[in-house]
């Protein structure tokens, strides 16, 4: 029997307009009655996720910042901070090698952006990091930083990722998380390790886990679940990483799949 369900947010649970499926919170209630835990597994920070779930947060589990920050029932379960000297090195390399990208530092006490982040990028930034502090120089930020998000309008797969992989690929975790985004965390940090931490904490096995994802930063999450679903709207090369294909996020594939599973349990 499934005891844990983990889902990515953008491109997976949320529809193309960033809305929840109409039946999502009803599904949460049904899962709670069956003692099945639902986990949000996102590249977003907790400060961006918490307002979306409001009073339910204390009963939920979050894998935030691609696994660098894990919250169980409103309490921090795991945090993996980047060493200050490495953080400084990454910021400096981006300044010198990638002057057109924008950095977002995700930390324990907040989210930090450079003052050079322009208005044309505000809509994209606002989707994911609507609570933030602006700094003229990100080297001045004094906080435990566990993820560096990089906004790259030129496409990170072709622009920023190859450059940063050359400098940091052997010592940091680099993940492309969207068409304009990539993330840098400590080596080994990913959604899959976040899920493994939760499974161990709760005594739940891979065989009792269902997971949903659509993008490359979801691969490790899918690998940590026996019942792994890639969304129909995912890139074709992603679909080999799941055992099953769920209907697209526009068709609310996550809640449809969960609802079918629950209905079978209730027969």
Instruction: Sketch out the chain's domains with CATH numbers.
Output: 4-79+190-265 (3.40.50.1000), 84-186 (3.30.1240.10)
Paired tokens of 248: 């697209």
Q: Which of 80, 53, 55, 56 is nearest to 66 (CA)?
A: 80
User: Is the dihedral angle over the CA atoms 18, 24, 28, 34 positive or is it negative?
Assistant: negative
CB-based contacts of 210: which residues, under 8 Å, 6+ apart? 2, 4, 5, 6, 225, 226, 227, 228, 229, 258, 261
Measured CA to CA in angstroms, residue 55 lies from 50, 58, 60 at distances of 9, 7, 10
Residue with tokens 């660098």: 68
Report which listed range, 98-102, 120-124, 205-209, is most confident: 205-209
Average pLDDT of the chain, as a whole number: 93
Distance between CA atoms of residues 203 and 136, nearest Å: 45
pLDDT digits (tens, 9 = 90+) for 27-56: 999 999 999 999 999 998 898 899 899 889
Burial of 89 (0-12, 13-18, 19+ CB in 10 A): middle
Distance between CA atoms of residues 94 and 3, nearest Å: 42
Q: Phi and psi dihedrals of 103, rounded to 5?
A: -105, 140
pLDDT digits (tens, 9 = 90+) for 56-98: 998 899 999 999 999 999 899 999 999 999 999 999 999 999 9
Q: Phi and psi dihedrals of 228, rounded to 5?
A: -105, 130
pLDDT at 119: 59
pLDDT digits (tens, 9 = 90+) for 151-206: 998 999 999 999 999 999 999 999 998 888 999 999 999 999 999 999 998 999 99
Sheet holding 145-151, edge to edge: 133-135, 111-114, 102-107, 145-151, 181-186, 172-176
């Amino acid at each position: 029997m499934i005891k844990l369900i983990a889902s990515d947010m953008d491109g997976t649970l949320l529809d193309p307009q960033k809305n929840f499926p109409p039946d999502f919170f009803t599904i949460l209630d049904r899962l709670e009655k069956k003692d099945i835990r639902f986990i949000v597994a996102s590249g977003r920070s907790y400060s961006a996720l918490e307002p979306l779930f409001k009073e339910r947060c204390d009963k939920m589990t979050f894998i935030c910042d691609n696994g660098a920050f894990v919250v169980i029932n409103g309490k921090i379960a795991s945090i993996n901070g980047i060493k200050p000297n490495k953080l400084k090195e990454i910021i400096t390399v981006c300044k010198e090698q990638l002057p057109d990208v924008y950095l977002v530092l995700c930390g324990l006490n907040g989210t930090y952006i450079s003052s050079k982040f322009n208005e044309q990028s505000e809509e994209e930034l606002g989707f994911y990091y609507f609570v933030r502090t602006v700094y003229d120089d990100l080297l001045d930020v004094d906080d435990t930083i566990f993820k560096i998000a990089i906004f790259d309008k030129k496409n990170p797969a072709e622009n920023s990722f190859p450059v940063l992989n050359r400098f940091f690929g052997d010592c940091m975790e680099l993940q492309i998380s969207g068409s304009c985004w990539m993330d840098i965390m400590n080596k080994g940090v990913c959604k899959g390790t976040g899920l493994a931490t939760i499974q161990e904490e709760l005594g739940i096995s891979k065989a009792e886990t269902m997971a949903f994802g659509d993008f490359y930063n979801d691969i490790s999450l899918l690998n940590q679940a026996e019942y792994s679903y890639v969304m129909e709207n995912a890139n074709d090369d992603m679909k080999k990483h799941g055992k099953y294909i769920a209907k697209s996020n526009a068709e609310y594939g996550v809640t449809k799949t969960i609802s079918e599973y629950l209905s079978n349990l209730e027969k």
